[in-house]
A and B are shown apart, each in its own frame.
Chain A
Amino acid sequence: METLEAIRTRRSVRSYTSEPIDDADLQKIIEAAASAPSGGNSQSWLFISVCEPKQIARMRAICPGIIGIPSGIIVLCLDFRGQKKEVLPIIKYLDIGAAMQNILLAAHDLGLGGCAIGSFHVEGVKEFLKIPEQVEPVLLIVLGKPRSIPSAPRKKLLQEIYFQESFEKI
């Protein structure tokens, strides 16, 4: 799939078939995540995949944002080990955003649907997945073979959000 076509046709998918995710595809998706840009090339991210059906069922119990039954979950974490969390700039959270988009586009290119999930209990997920103290789960992405593709959501017109040279008309 061409890059711009993937960007244009990607949707947040929340309904999946029971088909498992191919290991090779999951590897490609994680590699795409790791190829994202990061401030100072810090690459302060860690990725945890959960694909075992019973584990997914348990994750759904403490991650209310997971609607439907995905075939895989990727937990995107920031690794603060050896660093002072208070002095880290917000840019590291934006790096997670870049990794997120790479995951969603790679999944779309591979025929999978995905959806980013922010509604989950952070400490509950840390406890359940045995994530260390200094590692923070920031976002989840659920993946699976789409059972249906939602229609395109309403988007703001470009003239509402795009300004050239200055916010004010010169």
Chain B
Amino acid sequence: MKKYKMEPTELKNELFMLVSYVITSARGLYDEPDNYGIFRLIDSAGRLLAIMESAGMSDDFIASLREQIDEERESSMDDDAQKRHLDAMVLKIARELQKR
């Protein structure tokens, strides 16, 4: 049986808050600019990766993915730069998927 860093109750609560974030984001997007959807999806991925790390489910690749998401959040990318950044991430994921 795998040993997690996080107690099951704590993991459940973290995942519940992520679900709350996703549902609240869905509602908010009716009133927000269209491109906010991109930010919400990326932030959801970042939050889920953070939960995985806290729960002891991470590995080097997952950690690097989270770092890339954090890097994007901290920079002021224009649309073209963000598209290129996401393209690079998807390619990286595609290569990793072949190994999993």
* A residues in contact (CB < 8 Å) with B: 14-15, 57-58, 60-65, 67-68, 119-121, 124, 147-148, 150-151, 153
| Stretch of B1-9, B23-31, B57-65, B90-98 lying at the A interface | B23-31
* B residues in contact (CB < 8 Å) with A: 16-18, 20-21, 24-25, 27-28, 32, 36, 39-40, 43, 70, 73-76
Q: Report whether over half of chain A's contact residues are helix, strand or loop; otherwise say mixed.
A: loop
Q: Report whether over half of chain B's contact residues are helix, strand or loop; otherwise say mixed.
A: helix
Determine if A57 and B17 form an interchain contact, defined as CB atoms under 8 angstroms apart: yes
Residues of B within 8 A of A120 (CB): 24, 28
Determine if B70 and A64 form an interchain contact, defined as CB atoms under 8 angstroms apart: no
B53 to nearest A CB, angstroms?
Answer: 13
Residues of B within 8 A of A63 (CB): 24
Determine if A14 and B74 form an interchain contact, defined as CB atoms under 8 angstroms apart: yes
Determine if A15 and B32 form an interchain contact, defined as CB atoms under 8 angstroms apart: no
